[in-house]
Amino acid sequence: MRNDADTLTALFLQFAILSFFAVGGGGSAVPEMHRQTVEIAQWLTDRQFSELFAIAQAAPGPNIMFVALLGHFIAGVPGAVVATVAMCGPSCVLAYAVSQVVERFRAARWRIAIQAGLVPVTIGLLAASALIIARAADHDWGGFAITAGTFAFVYWTSLSPLLAFAVAALLGLSGFA
């Protein structure tokens, strides 16, 4: 764990910049978080990244709080706070500023075009997130089976995804994955 000023500054800048590129929600920032923290800075391993991501998904609270867990792993308690503020602060200020303006142009052609144009980008980014997490998590047929089963459960039923998470945890405990 490195909670020196350099690491905290790097963490802040990375996540603050990232918050502006998280198109359509926090989930689309996962590929870039992985690239920055695992591939470039090598602050944690592929496996640690996917396990922390899974903990954040299973815990209550906004899913974006994955950044707090990631920040904590990299730089302790200051890291958790810095990562959260960096990920949420700048985009909140932008949201407020834009909300004052854009509301009036709800039916404008350019606004509808921007919104429609961002949808396929968001879908591509979510698919990339899925690939990165699956690649780190699924080392064997057990892992693939859990991924496929959870997909089917979430996609075809309206039951809480937490049920699938509970079953997956039990299967993992019994050595299935």
Partner 1 sequence: MSKPNSTPSAVSAAERDASAAGPAAAAPRPSITDLFLAFAGVSLSGFGGVLAWARRMLVENKRWMTAREFNNLLALCQFLPGPNIVNLCAVFGVRMRGIPGALACLLGLLGPSVVLMIAAGVLYRRFGTLPELHGVLSGLAAAAAGMIIATALKMAEPLIRFRLGPQHAVALATFLTVGVLRLSLPLVLLVVVPVSIGFAWLRSYEK
Site for partner 1 in 75-94 (CB under 8 A): 77, 80-81, 84, 87-88, 90-92, 94
- Using CB under 8 A, which of 6, 42, 106, 158 touches partner 1? 106
Q: Is 147 in the site for partner 1 (CB under 8 A)?
A: yes
Of 12, 19, 37, 43, the one binding partner 1 (CB under 8 A) is 19
The answer to whether 5 contacts partner 1 (rule: CB under 8 A) is: no
| One character per residue 33-52, x = contact with partner 1 (rule: CB under 8 A) | --x---x--------x-xxx
Residue 55 in the binding site for partner 1 (CB under 8 A):
yes
* Distance in Å, CB of 41 to partner 1, minimum: 14
Q: CB-based contacts of 19: which residues, under 8 Å, 6+ apart?
A: 29, 86, 87, 88, 89, 90, 91
Q: Quick one: which of 2, 9, 13, 111 contacts partner 1 (CB under 8 A)?
A: 111
Which residue, 143, 148, 151, 149, is CA-closest to 172? 143
23 binds partner 1 (CB under 8 A): yes
Phi-psi region of 78 (alpha: psi -120 to 50; beta: other; left: phi over 0): alpha
DSSP secondary structure, 88-152, as one string = HHHHHHHHHHHHHHHGGGTT-HHHHHHHHHHHHHHHHHHHHHHHHHHHHH--SHHHHHHHHHHHH
Q: Does 54 bind partner 1 (CB under 8 A)?
A: yes
